[in-house]
Structure 1
């Protein structure tokens, strides 16, 4: 895990997250961690010892825990899909319409920026290249 439940409760501005029972909060943290691993295409990113990576992933996990817990509330879903083009989740707000052709995966630019920065891109290189003449 990138963050502890105590850190999530201390950082969160959502009363429901701050008062959440430990087992349920651990479930949200696990879900957020799994989502980050899939989004960054790097299942071993949690083994990194880079301080900057770990700080970014801690922030992303905390924000995703709030995001996931919000969307698990039935009233929140109904309100968000009531036909409005703008959604407000606590201190976060975003438009359901992409801006300037940019597509945001979560709708939260900060999380999307963190995940895109640490996304692992495979570099196959010269897999099918051969060197030298092939005939003798």
Structure 2
């Protein structure tokens, strides 16, 4: 986990999120962590000691908890079928995701894209010297 339940309650801009029980917040944090692992293709992201990575993942987890909570609401799901391109609730805004985007939240999508694990294999099957006949 990149963030605690209390930090979620303190930092969220939604009263609905801050009013959730600890068990519900823990559930959303677990879902957010799972999303981060899948989106970054890095099953061991939480093991990093890099301070900036930890801060970014903390922000991403907070945004994902809010995003997941928002989309779990039945009214939100119904309004998603409207043809509005942008939905704004308080300080939280959502743009319908374009192809290739993950959530439609630019900050969150940028964080997740930055940390996508891209293995670098250089010369794995490389042969040096003349080839044999």
Say whether the fold is shared (TM-score over 0.5).
Answer: yes
Kept in 2: contact 1:5–1:26 (CA 8 A): yes
1:64-83 alignment to 2 at 5 Å?
Answer: 64-83=64-83
Structure 1 runs of 4+ aligned residues shifted over 3 Å read none
Q: Which residue of 1 aligns with 2:84?
A: 84
Equivalence for 1:126: 123
Deviations 1:3-55 (CA, angstroms, capped at 9, x unpaired): 00000000011111101011111010000011001111111110001110000
In the other structure, the counterpart of 1:95 is: 95
Deviation per residue, 1:73-131 (Å, 9 max, x gap): 10011112222222224423243264xxx742110010011111121111111122111
Gaps of 5+ in 2: none
TM-score under structure 1 normalisation? 0.89
CA contact (8 A) 2:17 2:66 kept: yes
Question: Using the alignment, how far apart are the partners of 1:89 and 1:131 within structure 2?
Answer: 61
- Quick one: structure 1 residues 123 and 96, their matched pair in 2 at CA, closer, same or farther if it must change by over 3 Å? same
Trace 1:1-136 onto structure 2 (pairs within 5 A).
1-96=1-96, 98=98, 103-135=100-132
- Number of residue pairs the alignment of both structures matches: 133
Instruction: Give the C-alpha shift of residue 69 in structure 1.
Output: 0.5
SS of 2:23's partner is helix
RMSD of aligned residue pairs (Cα, Å)? 1.7
Task: Give unpaired runs (5+ residues) of structure 1.
Answer: none
Q: Tell whether the 8 Å contact from 1:85 to 1:97 is kept in structure 2 after alignment.
A: no
